[in-house]
Amino acid sequence: MASDEDDQRVPLKEQLRLFRRLAVPYFEQAEGAKLQFALLLLLVLIDAGVSVVFSYVGRDFYSALSAKDQALFIEKTANFAVGLAVATPLTVLFRFQRSRLALNWRAWMTTELARQYCTDQTFYQIELDPRVDNPDQRLTEDIKAFTAVSLDFGIDLMTSVIDLVSFSGILYSIYPELFYVIFAYATFGTLTTLQLGKTLVGQNAQVLLREANLRYSLVRLRENAESIAFYGGEAQEAREVRDRLEGAVEGRRAVLGTQRNLEFFTTAYRYAIQILPVLVVSPLYFAGTIELGVITQSSGAFNSILDDLSLIVNEFEGISRFSAGLRRLTAFGDSAAPSTPPVPAPPSPSPLPFRALAIDDLSLLTPDGSRLLFANVSLTVRCGEHLLVTGQSGAGKSSMLRAIAGLWTRGSGIVTRPLTADTMFLPQRPYCALGSLRQQLVYPRPLEEWSGAEWTGTDDALLRALGEVQLTRLASEGTAGLDAVRDWADELSLGEQQRLSIARVLLRKPRLAILDEATSALDLENEALLYNALGQLEGLTYLSVGHRPSLLNFHASRLRLYGVERTPCYAVETIG
């Protein structure tokens, strides 16, 4: 559902402040951005000059035609052809530079926001924030619209100012009364448009949200196709897609209704200007004071100035969509920007010389702070020891791991563990990255680090790790098989994905591995094989969450979580 913010009207001053926050960094930080913008400004001036020159060329052309002077007409036609030959490449270059700058701006802005989004687990925190929906759309469609509309509207505004100065002199010299009429007409049009279309901003924000939700439901359907097929949940999924589609269509209908009412006025407004300047200056023509070419020039100048003064009228629908996207993009940028840690200080990892893990008086709440999960938990795990975490569903087992990882930070206490580079977390459903089998095995490190001085890794090591976790079928093609690129999340069963995640541990050799139901999809024989392989890694300590009694065979101690209803809410005991 949309938040209340979508329906609030943001004052113009605040929208300008938000725009500056998003727009200025590119021109301050990106290499060559100022030069590209300066070139665009130069081409804007040239394009405006071309328009003024053509107003005089067109005037002389029609005056020669009206005078029925064939020689003069041919001369003015030749002048028009020369002007066209000069103006065409200049206009094309202007449009090309505008599009190129928009593309470069979009690329830089997307890269910067994506960098913030992928830094310090911001993407995870945003998922927990109900105020920011559909971050993928904000990183793609909203940025694309922001950069394109910003440049288009900014250039239109600059061109309008230049044209206003240039053509006002022309129009005032022809007939001062026409100059006053145009200002009165433009003011009337702008005020009426603002009044008729004031609800479009909120309506467009609703459309953006509902269409993004519709796309998200279709993505979820695709990503969970097999599970849905097993459940036979097609009917419910179809109903969900239909409901979201109806919401998007309903929002679009509301926009169409407002646009219809607005266009009743704007269409009549645009049609009227075709004859209004001619009506005003026609008495001078009938009196013989001016020529036909002067009428065409005054009409062109009138229309040009009116377009400049009617920028709000002509671009109101686009501006309303831009305003809605601006608020969404700013909210995303605020969430993705680095922030200071909350108070009280959250659990945080620190280097540890002799112990693998230490938890001191740890209390944890859900990210929204609505529920206490456990309180005052303290324990120490020495290097080489292995801890099993058990408890009833909802007792906080997985939440404990999130606290150790630093993902959930709402609470108090101290968590001390090896540095992130020496720690690995294995979720129940492993993540399979896009790319080759080789990239799956060394994830999350880049391939360059695998073959670099730190790891001194080889393909033989990768193949050996696959063999240790019983994924020999993937290693059967040797080195060539490591370069195979497939949809590994779809290619591998959950059990095979869990074996792959254990292979990552064997290759990386961390000091601490934390397994959240990481062998739940395996039979007991393969589970034992993988835990034995982990036990043979020198210097490794692992912590497991699980329910199977068989896990007791691979751990020296157990942490029981009972839930906050019991005091104390936990117990640590030796297994044996």
Residue owning tokens 């394009």: 47
**Residue 337: pLDDT band by 50, 70, 90 thresholds?**
low
The DSSP string of 476-487 is: TTTHHHHT-B--
Least confident of 157-171, 240-254, 438-452: 157-171
What's the pLDDT at 308? 66
| One-letter identity of residue 271 | Y
Least confident of 178-192, 497-511, 525-539: 178-192
- For the cut 90, the answer to whether the pLDDT of residue 389 exceeds it is yes
Q: Same domain, yes or no, for 182 and 233?
A: yes
Express each pLDDT in 519-545 by its tens digit. Answer: 999 999 999 999 999 999 988 999 999
What's the pLDDT at 534? 93
Which of 307, 336, 365 terminates a domain? The answer is 336
Residue 317 domain boundaries: 12-336
Of residues 211 and 197, more confidently modeled: 211
Q: Is residue 488 part of a domain?
A: no
Q: Is residue 126 part of a domain?
A: yes
What's the pLDDT at 2? 40
Alpha-carbon separation of residue 165 from 170, 441, 565 (angstroms): 9, 65, 76
- Greatest Cα-to-Cα distance within the chain, rounded to the nearest angstrom: 115
Express each pLDDT in 86-136 by its tens digit. Answer: 888 888 998 899 888 888 988 998 888 888 887 777 777 777 776 777 777
- Please tell me the distance from the alpha carbon of residue 442 to that of residue 499, in angstroms, as a whole number: 14
Which residue in 4, 2, 12 sits closest to 322, CA to CA? Answer: 12
- As a whole-number percent, the residues of the chain with pLDDT over 90 amount to 16
What's the pLDDT at 519? 92
- For the cut 70, the answer to whether the pLDDT of residue 318 exceeds it is no
What's the pLDDT at 443? 85
Residue owning tokens 């069963």: 493
Q: Strand 372-382 relative to strand 411-416: parallel, antiparallel, unpaired?
A: unpaired
What's the pLDDT at 59? 78
Q: Is residue 305 part of a domain?
A: yes
> Structure tokens of 490?
């779809």
Q: Same domain, yes or no, for 300 and 404?
A: no
Is residue 215 within 8 Å of residue 137, measured between CB atoms? yes
Q: Same domain, yes or no, for 94 and 228?
A: yes
Q: Same domain, yes or no, for 525 and 423?
A: yes
Least confident of 248-257, 264-273, 310-319: 310-319
Q: Same domain, yes or no, for 237 and 138?
A: yes
Q: Same domain, yes or no, for 411 and 523?
A: yes
What's the pLDDT at 13? 73
> Structure tokens of 391?
């408890």
**CATH code of the domain containing 525:** 3.40.50.300
Residue owning tokens 């945080």: 348
Give 416's strand partners. 358
What's the pLDDT at 327? 72
What's the pLDDT at 512? 92
**Residue 155: pLDDT band by 50, 70, 90 thresholds?**
confident
Q: Same domain, yes or no, for 285 and 394?
A: no
- Please tell me the distance from the alpha carbon of residue 171 to that of residue 298, in angstroms, as a whole number: 6
Which of 336, 368, 396 terminates a domain? The answer is 336
- Please tell me the distance from the alpha carbon of residue 65 to that of residue 77, in angstroms, as a whole number: 10
Q: Is 430 helix (H, G, I), strand (E, B) or coil?
A: coil
Q: Same domain, yes or no, for 363 and 246?
A: no
What's the pLDDT at 564? 86
Inter-axis angle of helices 292-309 and 143-174, nearest 10:
140
Q: Is residue 489 part of a domain?
A: no
- Please tell me the distance from the alpha carbon of residue 401 to that of residue 404, in angstroms, as a whole number: 5
Q: Same domain, yes or no, for 111 and 239?
A: yes
What's the pLDDT at 560? 92
Of residues 335 and 564, more confidently modeled: 564
Of residues 12 and 275, more confidently modeled: 275
- For the cut 50, the answer to whether the pLDDT of residue 269 exceeds it is yes
Is residue 521 within 8 Å of residue 544, measured between CB atoms? no
- For the cut 50, the answer to whether the pLDDT of residue 375 exceeds it is yes
What's the pLDDT at 4? 39
Residue/partner pairs of 232-241 with CB below 8 Å, 24 or more apart: 241/214, 241/217
The DSSP string of 280-312 is: HHHHHHHTTSS-HHHHHHHHHHHHHHHHHHTHH
**CATH code of the domain containing 143:** 1.20.1560.10
Q: Is the pTM of this model over 0.85?
A: no
Q: Is residue 174 part of a domain?
A: yes
- The radius of gyration computed from the CA coordinates of the chain, to the nearest angstrom, equals 34
What's the pLDDT at 346? 43
Alpha-carbon separation of residue 456 from 79, 337, 447, 479 (angstroms): 73, 36, 11, 17
Give 390's strand partners. 560
Express each pLDDT in 29-45 by its tens digit. Answer: 888 889 998 998 898 88
Express each pLDDT in 3-30 by its tens digit. Answer: 434 444 556 677 778 788 888 888 888 8
Q: Is residue 479 part of a domain?
A: no
DSSP character at residue 358:
E
Q: How many domains does the chain have?
A: 2
Computed over every residue of the chain, the mean pLDDT equals 81
Q: Same domain, yes or no, for 26 and 117?
A: yes
Q: Same domain, yes or no, for 51 and 103?
A: yes
Q: Is residue 476 part of a domain?
A: no
| One-letter identity of residue 214 | L
What's the pLDDT at 543? 93
Mean pLDDT in residue range 170-180: 71
Do you find a cis peptide bond into 344, omega within 30 degrees of 0? Answer: yes
Mean pLDDT in residue range 56-81: 83
Least confident of 168-177, 299-308, 332-341, 349-358: 332-341
Mean pLDDT in residue range 428-444: 86
Q: Is residue 487 part of a domain?
A: no
Express each pLDDT in 206-236 by its tens digit. Answer: 887 888 888 888 888 877 776 677 667 788 8
> Structure tokens of 315?
């671009």
**Residue 51: pLDDT band by 50, 70, 90 thresholds?**
confident
Q: Same domain, yes or no, for 380 and 252?
A: no
Number of CB atoms found within 10 A of residue 351's CB: 10
| Size (the chain), residues | 576
Residue owning tokens 């997307």: 110
